[in-house]
Amino acid sequence: MTSSDDELYFLSARAQGELIRTRKISPVELVGGYVDRIRRYDPVLRAYITVCGEQALAAARVAEREIAAGRYRGPLHGLPFGVKDQICTAGVRTTLGTRVITGRSSDVDAAVIEKLKAAGAILIGKENLHECGKGGTNVFPYGQPRNPWDPERTASSSSSGSGIAPAAGLCSASIGEDTGGSIRGPAAVNGVVGLRPTYGRVSRYGAVMYAWHSDTIGPVTRTVADNALLLSTIAGHDERDALSSARPVPDYLGALTGDLRGLRLAVVREIARVDGVHPDVSEAFERSLEVLRSLGAEIGEVSLPWARHAIPLQMLTSDADSASMYLDALKTQWDVFDVGTRTRMATAMLVPAPVYSRAMRARALVRGQVLAALKEWDALICPTHHKPPGLIDDTREKVESKADVAERLILRRIGTHTFGASNVPTLALPMGFSREEAMPLSLQIAGRPFNEETVYRIGHAYEQATVWHTRHPDLDRTLARFTGAAGKAR
């Protein structure tokens, strides 16, 4: 647990915003404290690629003057946020987590950055990620992302820095990107809340997306209410993104009633009830079901036979999309790419067009089963991951055998890819800790398209009935233990 000195930096964004609104703290104090914490802890955690310390402090001074003059913009005014470094920001480089010269970054603010800045939020840094936002990176060009609960353990998939930063108290909230689980995975292993919104709910203008059929931008936060607040800010139609939805943005915060009476939730058998689920995950999940029942929800079970096919279908199609974007760079800068990135892209180049077409049609079958289940049930629930966060070296995607395919590629994705392939809103949030390692475990809630309100309602009611969101890593202790062990190893 954290010390009392850290309390301000682990408060919810809404609580921090209220302190700023009532002028009990200033944006300069909050941003300055986060900049100091990044300097202190991020050399080990590597949540950030670029830290905008001076720019953030200058923006905080402007926010302080605006608020003093009565020009308060709302609950995000003066709060610092980080953003995955595949989302473009004017005046701040966008690396895509690679040393490869891609020619794809742009010196503009993405739509989500525009909206956050308009709400008074302050960009504090660009967050670390798997190379080109793909997942499967073995050697990170800008430093190995590390889990704040145990730096020897994984920070999970592509939006790794976006999960580390709010979990470690290095920003008020983050923005990540999710194709098959790149928001939900880092949220799960770092013990925070992450939402993959409905495809089209948030504009992707100004972000570098490689899987056009399923990439989404979403918030990563310390609480469900914070997540709802962030989505309320960044959601909405944008004519610059032809695939963004024109549906009106609902009142997500208003949906957080704490009451689940009348809601019908189904456990996905092929995800939650299969071989390979760690006993600690199973136990925590069953306890979660009891909590949900106690809040008034009806719990049942549903079968999605095509769920097990979602992983190869999602990887085949999205990897082929990515390879098409980086074809020239792969030809000229092969050795600059991480071996994990280039291997997956090169393999995807060998996929014939008829196979790609059939895979896209098969994805529609996965989605069809999910949507059919959601006609009967209000939400689908399962663990986000089947195992507690593993050691970094054990989770690298080094595929040298069929057993490696099952363990390193398939099992860790089985909870998330079904809903990514289905393009439905899906929330990951804390549901406990493993017994031996004391590492975060995560519950996942998937809902009907454009029905984030119900997903948030369920997640918030569960969160408020449990204590998991109140626990935060003691960075001084864990980092001292880690650096001491590293020193002994040397």
Chain mean pLDDT for the chain: 93
Contacts of 406 (CB under 8 A, 6+ apart): none
Question: In the chain, what percentage of residues exceed pLDDT 70?
Answer: 94
Span 343-358, mean pLDDT?
92
pLDDT of residue 402: 67
- Count Cα atoms within 13 angstroms, Cβ side, for 296: 10
The 80-84 sheet, strands edge to edge: 48-51, 122-127, 80-84, 173-178, 216-221, 193-196, 426-433, 440-447, 379-383, 264-268, 298-302
Which residues are annotated as catalytic? 84, 158, 182
Main-chain dihedrals φ then ψ at residue 357, nearest 5 degrees? -60, -45
| DSSP conformational letter for 408 | I
pLDDT of residue 489: 44
- CA dist., res. 414 & res. 188, Å (int): 14
Span 143-157, mean pLDDT?
96
User: Is residue 178 predicted with pLDDT exceeding 70?
Assistant: yes
**In contact, 132 and 84? CB cutoff 8 Å:** no
Binning pLDDT at 50, 70 and 90, where does residue 87 land?
very high
Candidates 283, 221, 267, 270; CA nearest to 444 is: 267
pLDDT of residue 414: 79
User: Is residue 207 predicted with pLDDT exceeding 50?
Assistant: yes
Q: Could you give all domains of the chain from N- to C-terminal order, each with its CATH number?
A: 4-489 (3.90.1300.10)
User: Is residue 490 predicted with pLDDT exceeding 50?
Assistant: no
Span 390-415, mean pLDDT?
73
pLDDT of residue 366: 94
User: Is residue 449 predicted with pLDDT exceeding 50?
Assistant: yes
Which residue did the predictor score with more confidence, 210 or 199? 199
Binning pLDDT at 50, 70 and 90, where does residue 5 land?
low
User: Is residue 1 predicted with pLDDT exceeding 50?
Assistant: no
Span 193-210, mean pLDDT?
95
User: Is residue 2 predicted with pLDDT exceeding 70?
Assistant: no
Strand partners, 382: 444
**In contact, 469 and 190? CB cutoff 8 Å:** no
pLDDT of residue 410: 65
Contacts of 110 (CB under 8 A, 6+ apart): 87, 88, 89, 203, 204, 205, 206, 207
Could you tell me whether strands 379-383 and 440-447 are parallel, antiparallel, or unpaired per DSSP bridges? antiparallel
Handedness of CA 195, 417, 387, 293 (dihedral sign): positive
Span 40-56, pLDDT tens digits: 999 999 999 999 999 99
Main-chain dihedrals φ then ψ at residue 160, nearest 5 degrees? -60, -50
Span 294-325, pLDDT tens digits: 999 999 999 999 988 888 898 889 999 988 88
Binning pLDDT at 50, 70 and 90, where does residue 134 land?
confident
Span 106-116, mean pLDDT?
96
User: Is residue 3 predicted with pLDDT exceeding 70?
Assistant: no
**In contact, 231 and 254? CB cutoff 8 Å:** no
Contacts of 435 (CB under 8 A, 6+ apart): 280
Span 229-285, pLDDT tens digits: 999 999 999 999 999 999 999 999 999 999 999 999 999 999 999 888 999 999 999
User: Is residue 409 predicted with pLDDT exceeding 70?
Assistant: no
What's the token pair of residue 73? 């913009």
**In contact, 106 and 153? CB cutoff 8 Å:** no
Span 65-78, mean pLDDT?
98
Could you tell me whether strands 80-84 and 48-51 are parallel, antiparallel, or unpaired per DSSP bridges? unpaired
Burial grade of 398 (CB within 10 A; 0-12, 13-18, 19 or more): middle
- CA dist., res. 25 & res. 349, Å (int): 54
